Structure 1
Amino acid sequence: MTLKNCLVYRDGNFVKMDLNVEKGIFVDNPSEPLIDATGYYVMPGFVDSHAHVIGTGHKYGHVNLENVGSIEELLQILQAEDHGVIIGRGWSEEKLGTRPTRQLLDLLEKPVLLIRRCGHVAVANRSLMELTGRWREDGVFKEQDLEQLRKDLPSREDEKFFKIGQEHFLMHGVTFVHSDDLHGLSWENLKEILKDSKMRVFEKVYFPSLSDLEKFDDFGQISDRVIVKAVKLFADGSVGGRTAWLSVPYADDPSNFGTKLIDEEELEKFAILCERKNVQLCVHAIGDEALHMVGKVFSRHPNHRVIHAQLVRNEDLSLLRKSFFSIQPHFAFEDRHLIESVLPKNLKALRYPFLMLFQQGFKIAFSTDAPVSPEDPKYVIECAMKLGFTKQQAIELYTVAGARMAGLNNLGEIKSGFLADFCLYEKNPLDLDEDPVAVYVAGELVYEK
């Protein structure tokens, strides 16, 4: 295939040229069919270095609460739902003015589970808890308890939700997602879902114990577009859920330091086992105490990955120097209220130091953490530029950097010999107000507007 006379992105600019693709690779020589692409802009496909494809499908397939601004509006939306089990995602105290309670949700006659924006906290009503057989007096489920509750939900329809999530990534030009989907379903079910993926997926698999990882033997390529090559662990939770692990207590909860989800000895054993299996260990760590522990382990085990890194002590930077980072620039703006009112004033840590990490040469790549935030790269790039990244830097951190973090050195750029993942735009995509009209993975059309 040859696209004639298109405008191809190269190092921050567009160059008028023919784009040649053969057997899923960019090549130098033209081949059939010849397609007139005069006036079309071509960008490399975006690479999201940390998101949840099935979770993004849930956001659009269940009840999306991210724009709900009051408890009264929340109740109206839930009362209008006619599903047997009502699952909502995306609420936050900042928008609602308070946290929804079990007593409030008990007013509804159907089972209800409302998952906070961060995904680390949820509120269930009595009907939902009776349905699943899991009980909390206040209806609040956090971290591992929430993970167990999700497994007991009926009618999960994860294949449908994967396809919904995939479509939303593709429509924004994301051709490759480092995904984290093994929540509440079996690996065998997830593997079957992933085999039919249109886009590239680098799957990070969660294991509750070392013995589970020891027995797992499905690492590697499971299709031409899906590779399972990473392990996902949690060192702590989220700031909004008051479960990020801090060195000092939260400003609005003086007895709460957050939640430690793994200890240093166990984390080191995971790192050693991951190295033996030749896979990357990816650790969710947000609070400064969590980053300190992860830094100590990763200083002895380089080239593993930190996900988020929102609160980092200066003295821990040297420990984390040889690590990769999946970061979310937009959190510096979305979490502004939390930074000002929830984080303690005496917390001696750098807050959302994403630009500084980049400027000091740390290996970072951008991500959305969708469905926590919009899966649209334009949103992330705009936020990164507000932090001080240039547009070209932001694009590179959203393309080639994410590819290299997954061990793919032939992806994320439009050049001969690279994998042919690219997007066509009718207008200049650098204006950041356009989505692609066509998306290709390995030279195959996978999405058309």
Structure 2
Amino acid sequence: MATVSDVMVRTGRRGELGLLGLAVAVAVLARGLVDYHADFLELDELAIYAAGWAAVAGVIHLAIRRWASYADPVLVPAVLALNGIGLAMIRRIDFAYASRGRETDFGQVQVVWTLLGIALALGVILLIRDYRLLRRFTYTAGLVGLIGLLLPLMPVIGTQINGARIWINVFGKSLQPGEFAKIAFVVFFAGYLVSNRDTLALAGPKILGMRFPRPRDMGPLALVWVAAMLVQIYERDLGTSLLLFGIFVAMLYVATERLSWVVVGLGMFGVGAVLAGTLFSHVGSRYTAWLHALDSDVYSSGASEQLVRGLFGMASGGLFGTGLGEGRPDLVPYAESDFIVASLGEELGLTGLMAILTLYVIIVQRAMRTAIGVRHGFGKLLAAGLGFAIALQVFIVVGGVTRVIPLTGLTTPFLAYGGSSMLANWIIVGLLLRISDQARRPEAVTP
């Protein structure tokens, strides 16, 4: 006769409620500082904003308590804190643009995208009661991801913005399908690798103490490598190319526990990047702007102007920043989206950026903890892949802004202005909540 395990598992909902209160306080304080330094502070309006954030946090808490009561209690508060900081910074940039005669409403639009993203996350929790059902759609997800990457190349709906062809027009709005494609590809990679990991892990010759894959097992890696190179060359999007290939190599390592796959994967991407930079001028110009950003001829041509302005902005912020609302983020092009990290670095300083990066570390750590705790192989790979997707995207964006790697067109999750990124990353949160709920939920055992 089945009985419930005597080990009591705490749901963590009380702790989550307290952390949500802290996240709301961070969001409201950031908004208040922005309005105060812009001489726009209205206590009644700030109180309404605080009540709105509290209501949103309350709805999320009640929904999780009802539909995913054992879900991770730290994930959503960390995401909400980042989201609140991002909304405040985007509003601050609106004020900065207004001071120069340019009226924008990025902050108000981003609030709408945030609410839609939260609704999607709750929808995922409600509709996907068992994440294991997603394994049935392994190859469908792969097809959806591939279509998402190809859509920007379509002659009617595809459009090129800032030199990258990664956008489509939908009802007069720009949408970046690559943000949603990464989720589909994570589902596909998880389903494929859980079915083939024994072959990928055990077969192959041993060289210098590492077991390398057989050539015939390299097919999946080669296909993803080709897709990544095509994205980089034809869509002029190094960010999505690196993100897609990086997620696959990371998940391949988790599935096989073989370091050789990482070595081979990094080697393949490095060779492909060098060849693309040599054979295609538009790829080579991106690398030139990265390697020679401070050269006078490169800067005067405008190739590295945005990057250099961002670097000088962060340098002016120093250790503690100029203060939220007291910098000049408007001097950096696209400060609200591609370069919001530079804007935050100027006004919050290195200390503030480290705090923000710590929140990302917490989110990724909770995803990896979920991957460790889940009992199903598909769930382990899915949670790990979603965690890697966020970690790699943050690395690619921050690395580009700080000139560690070439600059890309990706946006910082939950911080930067952009509807596609906000919706896609909240969907990731919803999936992680569902997986963590099933991972932490006590199961019936037979004595």
TM-score past 0.5 threshold: no
| Structure richer in strand, relative to its length | 1
Higher relative contact order (CA 8 A, sep 6+): 2
Structure-2-length-normalised TM-score: 0.25
